[in-house]
Amino acid sequence: MNTHTEAHRIPCTAAPLWGLSLLRTMRADYLGYVTRLQNQHPDIAQVQVLNEHITHVFHPDWVRQVLVDQADALIRWERATEVFSISMGQSVLVTEGAQWQRQRRMLQPGFTPKRVAGYASLMASAAHDALNSLMQRVGDQSVDMDALMTDMTLDVILRALFGSHQVRDALPVSQAIQTLSHSGFSELFKPFSWPLWMPLPSVRKVRHAKQTLDRVIQQHIQAQQSTASDDGHDLLTMLRLARDPENPEQRLSAQELHDQTMVMFQAGHETTATAMTWWSGLIARHPEVAERIHAEVDAVLQGQTPTPATLQQMPWLQASLKEALRLYPPAAILFTRRALKDLQVGPWTVPQGQLIAFTPYVIQRDPRWFELPDEFKPERFLPGAPDIPRGVWMPFGTGPRVCIGQHFALLEMGLIAAMLMQRFRLEWPEGEPWPESDLAVTLRPAQAIRLKLHQRAVITLPQIG
């Protein structure tokens, strides 16, 4: 293998003024900037911003070579860790090394496909409640899909975390999550963050948001502790009882329990809501796909509530969700990593100490792997379609730090999608342009997606208790 020498350097884009202007470009339109970089250098590119060298890896084999094979030699970019620890404490999303390994080992059993399937009826009840109240409300007026999906996924995560919840929790919790998410993203581009006690308006907003979530979590932890019951099937009970398989006396400390609950709120709610909002818009714009899904949902479910098993019998539904996650991955960029030692990336060496960036949004729109990459074509993911190269579809990341909630999210998305399609036909308002995307922490539509939801006539729906 070649190594990093003057004659054989990673393709490098020179930026004037030590990359200061680049920093402005990146802040204004990060995804546009990375897309242009990848057009110039399809597999790998290096840029320098101030005193940092950042290597962008685009080739899926090399993405895996770094994130899977050399995961032990990476940590997350310290500034991101610092920013996210403000709201997520020392949780599994933030920690590194032995502490992260221990937390991940303890949490993992709660997120296996089998365990997650146990949440299906609870997820379906949340969707059932939201969609049935919508059926009573909508005539032919349009519905803000982001608001609908945000309410529904928040209800799901609250029920999954706590077994049940007070309806009054929902709105302040949702607003608090959004505040933390937006401030988190803008903090990334600043050299430091003010401590939460500072009497500045922007800091006060973040402090209040965090206090809101802290309060809700604490109330639920105390309520569970006071009933002294370990019988619950919710995530909080799972977290309270979690033991380290390598050290079975060890449980999560009180602070760790709080922080893990916090991360589930933040990582597990807005991401799924955003994915479902994009999906609903894409379905409304593609009636030919919607028709296939309606046919599938009607034939397989026959008016019954979907389950993990019946979802597997709906290839168009599944493929449409995967395709939406390809075009609009909610986590459009992964956490940038720092190399703890020299890393091999294809024929190149990234020296110890440098940064490495991965952008699923760009990798998933590379025309080498996806014909007409900007078009919505769920058939790419149907059984029997040509193989998609390994590692190219990566909305949940890859390697040991892959999203712990991926099975949870896919099940939740499948159930919500199937139940929505059982009840409604989605119509894109005539003349309305397709929205731009806006990268905060998640990739959201910059303009609201509002759809006309027409009730479908010929279904009998089951009652869920």
Alpha-carbon distance values, 316 to 71, 290, 295, 321 (Å): 34, 9, 10, 9
Buried b (16+ CB within 10 A) or exposed e, 256-293: bbbbbbbbbbbbbbbbbbbbbbbbbbbbbbbeebbebb
Rounded to the nearest whole angstrom, what is the least distance from the CB of residue 228 to ligand HEM in the complex? 26
Nearest alpha-carbon partner for 422 in 332, 322, 299, 325: 299
Interaction of residue 284 with ligand HEM, rule CB under 6 A: no
Q: Residue 288: CB partners within 8 Å, gap ≥ 6? A: none
Nearer to ligand HEM, 315 or 405 (CB): 405
Interaction of residue 268 with ligand HEM, rule CB under 6 A: yes
Q: Among residues 110, 308, 395, 445, which is the contact residue for ligand HEM, using CB under 6 A?
A: 395
What does the per-residue mask of binding to ligand HEM show for 300-329, with x meaning CB under 6 A?
Answer: -----------------------------x
Q: Among residues 62, 119, 162, 396, which is the contact residue for ligand HEM, using CB under 6 A?
A: 396
The residues pairing with 427 across neighbouring beta strands, listed in sequence order, are: 452
**Looking up tokens 């026959």, which residue turns up?**
302
Rounded to the nearest whole angstrom, what is the least distance from the CB of residue 85 to ligand HEM in the complex? 13
Q: Among residues 401, 423, 425, 452, which is the contact residue for ligand HEM, using CB under 6 A?
A: 401
Burial class of 147 by CB neighbour count within 10 A (0 to 12, 13 to 18, 19+)? middle
Rounded to the nearest whole angstrom, what is the least distance from the CB of residue 306 to ligand HEM in the complex? 18
Interaction of residue 408 with ligand HEM, rule CB under 6 A: yes
Here the tokens at position 219 are 């109330």
Nearer to ligand HEM, 219 or 406 (CB): 406
Nearer to ligand HEM, 86 or 452 (CB): 86
355-357/52-57 β-pairing: parallel
Task: Mark the segment that binds ligand HEM (CB under 6 A) among 124-132, 266-274, 291-299, 372-380.
Answer: 266-274
Strands (E), 17-129: 44-49, 52-57, 74-76
Nearest alpha-carbon partner for 131 in 306, 282, 312: 306
Alpha-carbon distance values, 254 to 23, 239, 267 (Å): 40, 11, 20
Residue 351 near residue 4 (C-beta atoms within 8 A)? yes
Task: Mark the segment that binds ligand HEM (CB under 6 A) among 248-256, 287-295, 403-411, 415-423.
Answer: 403-411
For the chain, percent helix, then strand, then coil, each to nearest 5? 55, 10, 35
Rounded to the nearest whole angstrom, what is the least distance from the CB of residue 93 to ligand HEM in the complex? 4
Rounded to the nearest whole angstrom, what is the least distance from the CB of residue 379 to ligand HEM in the complex? 21
Q: Could you tell me how many residues of this chain bind ligand HEM (CB under 6 A)?
A: 24
Interaction of residue 263 with ligand HEM, rule CB under 6 A: yes
Longest dimension (CA), the chain: 70
Interaction of residue 422 with ligand HEM, rule CB under 6 A: no
Nearest alpha-carbon partner for 99 in 116, 75, 77, 119: 75
Rounded to the nearest whole angstrom, what is the least distance from the CB of residue 256 to ligand HEM in the complex? 13
What DSSP character marks residue 216? H
What does the per-residue mask of binding to ligand HEM show for 93-112, with x meaning CB under 6 A?
Answer: x----------x--------
Interaction of residue 272 with ligand HEM, rule CB under 6 A: yes
* Interatomic CA distance for residues 202 and 352, integer angstroms: 36
Nearest alpha-carbon partner for 373 in 364, 385, 361: 364
Interaction of residue 237 with ligand HEM, rule CB under 6 A: no
Rounded to the nearest whole angstrom, what is the least distance from the CB of residue 383 to ligand HEM in the complex? 22
Q: Among residues 62, 278, 335, 361, which is the contact residue for ligand HEM, using CB under 6 A?
A: 335
* Interatomic CA distance for residues 437 and 447, integer angstroms: 8
Which residue minimizes CB distance to ligand HEM?
Answer: 405
* Interatomic CA distance for residues 384 and 464, integer angstroms: 36
Q: Residue 207: CB partners within 8 Å, gap ≥ 6? A: 196, 197
* Interatomic CA distance for residues 431 and 121, integer angstroms: 39
Q: Among residues 31, 63, 267, 441, which is the contact residue for ligand HEM, using CB under 6 A?
A: 267
Task: Mark the segment that binds ligand HEM (CB under 6 A) among 5-13, 212-220, 283-291, 399-407.
Answer: 399-407
Nearer to ligand HEM, 95 or 354 (CB): 95
Q: Among residues 330, 378, 414, 445, which is the contact residue for ligand HEM, using CB under 6 A?
A: 330
Rounded to the nearest whole angstrom, what is the least distance from the CB of residue 312 to ligand HEM in the complex? 18
Rounded to the nearest whole angstrom, what is the least distance from the CB of residue 286 to ligand HEM in the complex? 20
Length of the chain (residues) = 465
Provide the 3-class DSSP secondary structure of residue 25: helix
Q: Among residues 63, 357, 404, 417, which is the contact residue for ligand HEM, using CB under 6 A?
A: 404
Interaction of residue 70 with ligand HEM, rule CB under 6 A: no
Binding footprint of ligand HEM on the chain (CB under 6 A): 92-93, 104, 263-264, 267-268, 271-272, 275, 329-331, 334-335, 395-397, 401, 403-405, 408-409
